[in-house]
Structure 1
Amino acid sequence: MTNHRTIRGTIAYTSKKPDRMNQERGREFFTLTQQSDGTSVLHAHCEIDDAPDVIRDITSCFDTQTMKPRDGASRLTIGGKFEGSGWFYFTDSACELEVYNVKTGRASEAMPLDTPATWFGNHAIVNDGFLGKFFPLGCEPGKRRIANVMMSSPDHRGATGPELFPLSFGLIYTGNETITVGAGTFEARRFEVVDTAEGLPEEHPPYVMWTTNDEDGIFLRGGVDGYMMTHYELVELSR
């Protein structure tokens, strides 16, 4: 008998732009391993076909219940060329980064934190869904400020870096509904990511997402409006 649990899935990226309606624009393959020590380890391979195309491979270790990050890594290829690779390490008082980036070279960085980082934003779509854990199951709909977030890139596509980029934003839990996606029909929770203008160089367009209504909080469906007009949907799930 194993003392861990593994979840695997695939997320399809499609366009909602009028001239590309429902055309495939990328894909994501992920594995989440919930370990007996109370941590989860996420592996995600992400591909964005839009020029310049992006290939991102990430790992992320975090507390299964609280989402508090422990460590992670990100490797990027942009436009068919290596962009950078970095390893992130989190303590209660700092986030450290060992990185090689083609724009800035080799560096060791450390950013002091007044309080521990709450979430590591590595730009994997499945990872966005875990934000829902900040609203415990059974709680009433509402809005929270998610502070002390550490991003691996301020770019909306995550197409720079890796780097240390602190951020806070708003998260709204609007309620529950039943939705059907490529992977099946699920009881879901609906969320909106808002109020990013204070931290990002350019405010992120409106972002709505649905996650499974259970302790796993797996991303089911999401969409970004504005200039991006993208759609994300879980098409395969094994747990």
Structure 2
Amino acid sequence: MDHTTIRGRIDYLSRRPGMEGKRRGGETFLITKHGDGRRTLRATCIIDENSPRVLRDSITNLAPDWTPMGGFVQISVDDAFVGSTWFDFRDGMARAHGYNVREGHFSQEIRLAERPCFFGTHPIQADALTTRCFDLSQGPGRQVIPYFLMCSTHHRGADGPKLVTARELNLTFIGEEELTVKAGTFQALHFLVGANTDDEYMGTDRHPPYHVWVTADGDHIFLKGHVTGYMQTYYELAVLERGEGDI
């Protein structure tokens, strides 16, 4: 076979006072790099911490230019099934067909002027792939992604899943650095995701700053990240394996 694979495990931890270092859950992911340039991200995510507890299984298919081709998301919240949906982004259309407990069976179609830069499905490794939208040739600074698609706008992705259009994601490239995490030492790219730059902001009306470090080798593998403000969450790559052929 002409494909290669990347496997990883990410630990979900807390930085809240009195809960520093407490495990909140985790994520396992498998990326297939196909011989024709496509990529497939498979991820299982578990948030064990209450408010609410989430179990997510997702598949995201990327074209050779890294734009999303489609995927699948299934969600359980507090051990109860919430919904599952299939997504497809081709022929100038975004399509979704699924079932969730609020609406039953549904189908959606949205006409697209162009394929979106990314599709947000809420795994942490999927968050890391959004950094691929940043044009690194421009150097450090802020760039705005004009629009993108999501399966949910809930901060934990705990509803839906269904097709949601979102606009203006701010990505700030801070710089390159050497970084050591549980999985090893890597050359990393440091990004800030979102328009909010106030790490001390404690309000809930806008998402706190989200700092993300990814590998600088072109694969954009998540290394570590943290959300400040009222969330105080921390994520770290604990295991990374690369191979060829069979998984």
For normalisation by structure 2, the TM-score amounts to: 0.90
Given that 1:94 and 1:110 are in contact with CA atoms closer than 8 Å, whether structure 2 keeps it comes out as yes
Alignment partners' CA distance in 1, 2:43 and 2:205: 26
Q: Which position in structure 1 is the counterpart of 2:223? A: 220
Counting matched residue pairs gives: 233
Aligned pair partner of 1:230 in 220, 226, 233: 233
CA drift of 1:136 comes to: 4.8
Q: For each residue in 1:32-51, what CA deviation from the matched residue of structure 2 results, as whole angstroms up to 9, or x when unmatched?
A: 00001211001000000112
Alignment partners' CA distance in 1, 2:219 and 2:17: 34
Q: Which amino acid aligns with 1:81?
A: A
Q: Which position in structure 2 is the counterpart of 1:156? A: 155
Q: For each residue in 1:198-219, what CA deviation from the matched residue of structure 2 results, as whole angstroms up to 9, or x when unmatched?
A: xxx9422110010011111101
Pairing 1:136-175 to 2, within 5 Å after superposition:
136=135, 139-168=138-167, 169-175=169-175
CA drift of 1:137 comes to: 5.4
Does residue 8 of structure 1 match 2:7? yes
For normalisation by structure 1, the TM-score amounts to: 0.93
Indicate the SS of the match to 1:19: coil
Relative distance call for 1:92 and 1:193 in structure 2 (3 A) is: farther
Pairing 1:1-239 to 2, within 5 Å after superposition:
2-51=1-50, 52-64=52-64, 66-136=65-135, 139-168=138-167, 169-195=169-195, 202-239=205-242
Indicate the SS of the match to 2:8: strand
Q: Which amino acid aligns with 1:172?
A: T
Indicate the SS of the match to 1:127: helix
Q: Can you give the 5+ residue segments of structure 1 that lack an aligned partner in the other structure?
A: none
Alignment partners' CA distance in 1, 2:171 and 2:91: 23
Q: For each residue in 1:98-147, what CA deviation from the matched residue of structure 2 results, as whole angstroms up to 9, or x when unmatched?
A: 01000111001111222221101000100111122223556511211112
CA drift of 1:164 comes to: 1.2
Given that 1:9 and 1:236 are in contact with CA atoms closer than 8 Å, whether structure 2 keeps it comes out as yes
Q: Which amino acid aligns with 1:230?
A: T
Given that 2:117 and 2:133 are in contact with CA atoms closer than 8 Å, whether structure 1 keeps it comes out as no
Quote the RMSD (CA, aligned, Å): 1.5
**Stretch of structure 1 that moved more, 141-150 or 211-220:** 141-150
Q: For each residue in 1:65-114, what CA deviation from the matched residue of structure 2 results, as whole angstroms up to 9, or x when unmatched?
A: x3211110000000110000000000252210001000111001111222
Q: For each residue in 1:14-67, what CA deviation from the matched residue of structure 2 results, as whole angstroms up to 9, or x when unmatched?
A: 001002111000100000000012110010000001122100000000024x32
Indicate the SS of the match to 2:36: coil
Given that 2:14 and 2:233 are in contact with CA atoms closer than 8 Å, whether structure 1 keeps it comes out as yes
Given that 1:30 and 1:44 are in contact with CA atoms closer than 8 Å, whether structure 2 keeps it comes out as yes
Runs of 4+ in 1 over 6 A off after TM superposition: none
Percentage of pairs with the same residue: 40
Q: Which amino acid aligns with 2:132?
A: K
Alignment partners' CA distance in 2, 1:53 and 1:97: 25
